[in-house]
C-alpha cells in the first residue's frame, strides 16, 4: 500500500487504537478524529460528537485525506435502557455516518471503509451453514438494523458521488483491550470458575484484532474492494468449550468445564432474561471468508492461538498493573 493520508473516526476505541498504530507503523499519515483533544492519538482533530460535530474541524480533517476508516458508532448494548433504542442507534450509526460520508465526498476523499457488523446477516447459522455476503440481510435488533441502514445509505452516497465505499462485517472481535462478553469470559476463566458448557456442540467464528486491522488496511488500497461488502474472520471456527480451553491454556489456567444439557441452559436463560447471552454461548454463528480470500487475495495473518496469547498477555499485565496501584 502506497503512503496515504487516512482519517480514522473512533480512533481512541478498541479497534481504532490498533488501526492507528498499524497505519502509522507502515508510514501512512494518520488523522485521528476525536471528540476532544488529549487522548494521545496521533494528529488529533477535535470534531466533537458526530451527531452534532464541529463541521469546520471535520471538514478540515477530511480535506486532503485520501481515505476514511469509519469506526465511530454506538456499539451494541445487551440490555438497552433507552425508551427508543432504534432512534438513538440511527442518530449515530446511520445519520452521522451518512453525513461524514457526504462531507468526505464533497472535499474529494477517494475511499470510505465502513466497519459494520455480522449482525446485519443475522444472529446465528444453523446446521453447519455459514453466512456469506450473498445472504439476504436479516438484522434482528436495533443495533443491527442501524448498521444495515447505514450500509444502504453509504451505497446511495457512492452512487450519487462516486465515493469508493467498502463495507466490512466482522463477527465478535477479540484482542488486547477487549471488553464486554469476551472479557467477562476471561474473568471467569482466570478465577477458575466451573462452567456448565462442556456439552455445548456449536461453532463460532471470531476475528482477532490483528486480523481485522490487517483486513481494514487491505480494503483501503485494494482496487477490487470498491463497492463491495466483505465478511472477515480468523478462518478457524471454534466451539464454546474449545474457545474456553484455548483461553485457559493461554492464561495458564485449567479449563473447568462440566456437561449440562444445552436445552436446559437455554430454558434458564429465557427465565432469567439472559436468552441472548446464552444463545451466544450455545448457538452457532459461522462466516465464510471465501470472498475476502478470492477477491482480495487476503489471508488471516495471525492464528487464533497467537491472538489469544497476545490477549492473555495483555489481560495478565493489566491485572498486575491494577494490583500495583
pLDDT of residue 79: 54
**Of the listed ranges 47-61, 95-109, 207-221, the one predicted with least confidence:** 47-61
b/e map 195-213, b = 16+ CB within 10 Å: bbbebbebbbbbbbbbbbb
User: How many Å apart are CA 223 and CA 237, to the nearest integer?
Assistant: 29
Q: pLDDT band for position 205 (50/70/90)?
A: very high
Summarize the confidence of residues 171-181 as an average pLDDT: 95
| Poorest-pLDDT segment among 51-55, 136-140, 215-219, 283-287 | 51-55
Kindly indicate the confidence band of residue 50, based on its pLDDT and cuts at 50, 70 and 90.
confident
Quote the CA–CA distance of 33 and 8 in Å, as a whole number: 6
The residue extents of the domains of the chain are 5-176+205-234+287-301
Of the pLDDT bands very low, low, confident and very high (cuts 50, 70, 90), residue 322 is confident
Give catalytic status of residue 315 as yes or no: no
Give yes or no for a contact between 267 and 282, defined as CB atoms under 8 angstroms apart.
no
Q: Tell me the CB-side half-sphere exposure of residue 109, using CA atoms within 13 A.
A: 31
**5-176+205-234+287-301, what's its fold?**
Rossmann fold (3.40.50)
Give mean pLDDT, residues 282-294.
Answer: 97
C-alpha–C-alpha distance, residues 170 and 74, integer Å: 16
Residues with Cβ within 8 Å of 107's Cβ and at least 6 positions away in sequence, in order, are 59, 62, 63, 64
Lowest mean pLDDT, pick from 69-73, 82-86, 251-255, 312-316: 82-86
Average pLDDT of every residue of the chain: 92
- Residue-wise burial string across 82-98, b where 16 or more C-beta atoms lie within 10 A, e elsewhere: eeebbebbbbbbbbbbb
Residue 40 above 80 pLDDT? no
Q: Among 165, 48, 42, 183, which Cα is nearest to 102's?
A: 165
Q: Which of 39, 40, 1 is nearest to 23 (CA)?
A: 1
Catalytic residue among 89, 143, 174, 315: 143
Q: What is the pLDDT of residues 4-35, one digit of tens each?
A: 899 999 999 999 999 999 999 999 999 988 88
pLDDT for 78 beyond 90:
no
Amino acid at each position: 500500500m502506497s503512503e496515504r493520508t487516512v482519517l480514522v473516526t473512533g480512533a481512541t476505541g478498541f479497534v481504532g487504537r490498533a488501526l492507528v498504530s498499524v497505519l502509522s507503523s507502515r508510514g501512512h499519515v494518520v488523522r485521528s478524529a476525536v471528540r476532544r483533544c488529549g487522548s494521545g492519538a496521533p494528529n488529533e482533530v477535535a470534531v466533537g460528537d458526530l451527531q452534532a460535530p464541529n463541521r469546520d474541524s471535520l471538514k478540515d480533517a477530511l480535506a486532503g485525506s485520501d481515505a476514511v476508516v469509519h469506526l465511530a458508532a454506538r456499539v451494541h448494548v445487551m440490555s438497552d435502557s433507552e425508551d427508543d433504542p432504534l432512534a438513538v442507534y440511527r442518530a449515530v450509526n446511520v445519520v452521522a455516518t451518512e453525513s461524514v460520508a457526504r462531507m468526505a465526498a464533497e472535499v474529494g476523499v477517494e475511499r470510505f471503509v465502513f466497519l459494520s457488523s455480522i449482525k446485519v446477516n443475522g444472529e446465528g447459522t444453523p446446521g453447519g451453514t455459514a453466512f456469506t455476503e450473498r445472504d439476504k440481510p436479516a438484522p434482528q435488533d436495533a443495533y443491527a438494523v442501524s448498521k444495515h441502514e447505514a450500509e444502504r445509505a453509504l451505497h446511495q452516497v457512492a452512487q450519487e458521488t462516486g465515493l469508493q465505499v467498502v463495507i466490512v462485517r466482522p463477527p465478535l472481535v477479540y484482542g488486547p483491550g477487549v471488553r464486554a462478553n469476551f472479557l467477562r469470559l476471561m474473568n471467569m476463566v482466570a478465577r477458575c470458575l466451573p462452567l456448565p458448557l462442556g456439552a455445548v456442540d456449536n461453532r463460532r467464528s471470531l476475528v482477532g484484532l490483528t486480523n481485522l486491522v490487517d483486513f481494514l488496511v487491505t480494503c483501503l488500497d485494494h482496487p477490487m474492494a470498491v463497492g463491495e461488502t466483505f465478511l472477515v474472520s480468523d478462518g478457524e471456527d471454534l466451539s464454546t468449550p474449545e474457545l474456553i480451553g484455548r483461553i485457559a491454556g493461554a492464561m495458564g489456567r485449567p479449563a473447568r468445564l462440566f456437561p449440562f444439557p444445552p436445552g436446559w441452559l437455554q430454558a434458564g436463560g429465557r427465565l432469567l432474561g439472559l436468552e441472548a447471552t446464552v444463545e451466544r454461548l450455545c448457538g452457532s454463528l459461522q462466516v465464510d471468508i471465501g470472498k475476502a480470500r478470492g477477491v482480495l487475495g487476503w489471508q488471516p495473518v495471525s492464528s487464533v492461538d497467537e491472538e489469544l496469547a497476545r490477549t492473555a498477555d495483555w489481560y495478565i499485565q493489566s491485572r498486575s498493573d491494577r494490583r500495583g496501584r
